[in-house]
Chains A and B, each alone.
Chain A
Amino acid sequence: MNEPTVEINGLGRRFGRLRALDDVSFSLDDGITGLLGPNGAGKTTMLRCLATVETPDTGRLRILRRDPGRVSERTEIRRRLGYLPQEPGFYPNFTAYDFLDYLAVLKELVDDGQRRREVRRVLDAVDLGDRAMTKIRKLSGGMRRRLALAQALLADPQLLILDEPTTGLDPGQRLRFRDLVSRLGEDRTVLLSTHQTEDVAALCERVIVMDRGRVLFDGPPRGLAETARGSVWLAEQRPAGGGVTWRNADGRYRTIGDPPAGAELADPTIEDGYLLLVGDAALADVA
């Protein structure tokens, strides 16, 4: 059998007494997988390990059929990997073009002509072709996010690691992002983190829910929704007592948790499944 693109086995990472990753195992192949979890769940730590910038304390990690613990194999991994950090950082006085040109050199595109074509290609891929000459400090927040995404596409990586790629994008940009990423996911492995269930529903064929460094769910988005079947209720009146309740668009009250009096069962969504699974942590996030 073929070895998967990414293989994670019992991965652990501590910061002092905090377990940011606690015995995480999963493997990835071509297609788009969403890593869903509240703030502090360990998503960024997980993605940094896969991007080879963080070293796990325990467990086994194979990326693109190589061992990131060995220097020469790690370099091979990095040649085939695109990484969008949660906070990528920029040189504000560089133009968009020059920034990508710099990172293309770091990605070992040393031939001037080849680098020029590659920078053009990724600028066009994120719709920034007409902003090539603009200094980064003059780009809007959404444009910077797209510029950061563009650098992850340099050298046509087989594995894309995207840390909260949709944060800061407006609905139109989000749509274009989905279009781009779904096309990328057709013939490569994409792992993106998010705390928004809409991204997962729209884009991912698989979702991994993390909280407090552990994997709580791993499966198709529909399966995540199904975990909430039997726990989502609709009522005409605001129910008294516990659980999370909100009034939806058609004026009925939706409750997750114990059934309120006189309520009927509703079809669960991915969000329901997620909220039920991570419970207090996600609810604190909502608040």
Chain B
Amino acid sequence: MSWHVDAPLLRRYLAGDTDLAAALSIEAHVSGCGACRALLPDDPAWLEDSWSGVADRVIVAQRGPMERLLVRVGVGTPSARLLAATPSLRRSWWAAVVAALAFTVAAAHAAAGDDRGLLLFLALAPLLPVAGVAVAYGPLADPVHELTVGAPMSGLRLLLIRAAAVLCTTVGLALLALPLLPALSWTAAGWLLPALALTTVSLVLGSWLSPVRASAAVTAVWLGLVALVAVPGADALMLFRAGAQAWFAALLGAAGALLLARRGSFDVGGGR
């Protein structure tokens, strides 16, 4: 044996504070080294507990790539656990988002020169997180909803964690699509604030309506606005220029405040 378990390491191991690799190599070493084994408590219950502790850390280390990545970038393991259970973050959802973005980017190229080609992309991008949030929580989307609302953790906190996960992924994908657009200007990023504002508004509405209905209502109003600016002669990109951005910022602030005021409503049942 080239090394032995030193006192500080042993203390941390006994307290269950070593990382998985260290714990495994200590166990391997101890099984072949009588001197170190003698340092361990001679208590079957402790040994049993220590073994299952290592086994459980193996389980945690085998979780999906997203959860491991989240833990590595500093999100705590409990929050990573909550994020991993977000119902909408599945492969089918990623595929739908990518397909929708690809379609609108292609349309923007096909209509090069006409602002309305770009409008299609700009109108769609804010709706992606709105749709994603609709299928991220609630009695229809989440099979474990009943247990979730009955848990002491605040419903709004879980909702915000999930909404943030959906926002980050969809907004991230839409940002990746930006350089693929034909003519790049600041206006092309004008969907970001509407995306945040519309998502927050649909979260608030979700405290009265079901999440799906709330998203449908927001989507309908947004598409109505888009139809108004898409008529020939109007400025097709009006909603995405500086003037309109101030309105979306105000809407975002108001909806955010209302969401906090309505937080209690995310903690009770809402049907079966």
Q: A87-B272, A101-B60 are in contact. List 8 more A-B contacts (CB 8 A).
A: A53-B150, A75-B154, A78-B152, A81-B150, A85-B147, A88-B144, A97-B56, A105-B78
In the complex, how many angstroms separate the beta carbon of A184 from the nearest chain B beta carbon?
18
Residue interface mask B62-95, A partner, CB < 8 A = 1: 0100000000000011100110110000000000
Assuming the A-B contacts A52-B268, A71-B264, A95-B59, are A89 and B147 also in contact, with contact meaning beta carbons closer than 8 angstroms in the complex? Answer: yes
B residues near A79, Cβ cutoff 8 Å: 152
In the complex, how many angstroms separate the beta carbon of A3 from the nearest chain B beta carbon?
21
In the complex, how many angstroms separate the beta carbon of A117 from the nearest chain B beta carbon?
8
Assuming the A-B contacts A102-B85, A119-B56, A120-B56, are A52 and B63 also in contact, with contact meaning beta carbons closer than 8 angstroms in the complex? Answer: no
Interface of B is mostly: helix
Assuming the A-B contacts A71-B264, A107-B153, A112-B77, are A91 and B146 also in contact, with contact meaning beta carbons closer than 8 angstroms in the complex? Answer: no
A residues near B85, Cβ cutoff 8 Å: 91, 94, 102
Which residue of the partner chain A has the closest CB to B76? Answer: A110
Give the number of chain A interface residues (Cβ < 8 Å). 41
7 tightest CB-CB pairs across the interface, nearest first?
A: A89-B143, A106-B151, A78-B152, A53-B269, A105-B78, A85-B146, A79-B152
Could you write out 20 A-B pairs with CB less than 8 Å apart?
A: A48-B269, A53-B268, A53-B269, A54-B269, A71-B264, A74-B267, A85-B150, A87-B272, A89-B144, A90-B144, A91-B85, A98-B59, A102-B84, A103-B151, A105-B81, A105-B82, A106-B152, A113-B17, A116-B53, A133-B59
Instruction: Check if A88 sits within 8 Å of B147, measured CB to CB.
Output: yes
Instruction: Check if B81 sits within 8 Å of A102, measured CB to CB.
Output: yes
**Assembled-state Cα–Cα distance A116/B17 (Å):** 13
Instruction: Check if B82 sits within 8 Å of A90, measured CB to CB.
Output: no
In the complex, how many angstroms separate the beta carbon of B41 from the nearest chain A beta carbon?
16
Assuming the A-B contacts A102-B81, A120-B56, A132-B59, are A91 and B143 also in contact, with contact meaning beta carbons closer than 8 angstroms in the complex? Answer: yes
B52 contacts the other chain (Cβ, under 8 Å)?
yes
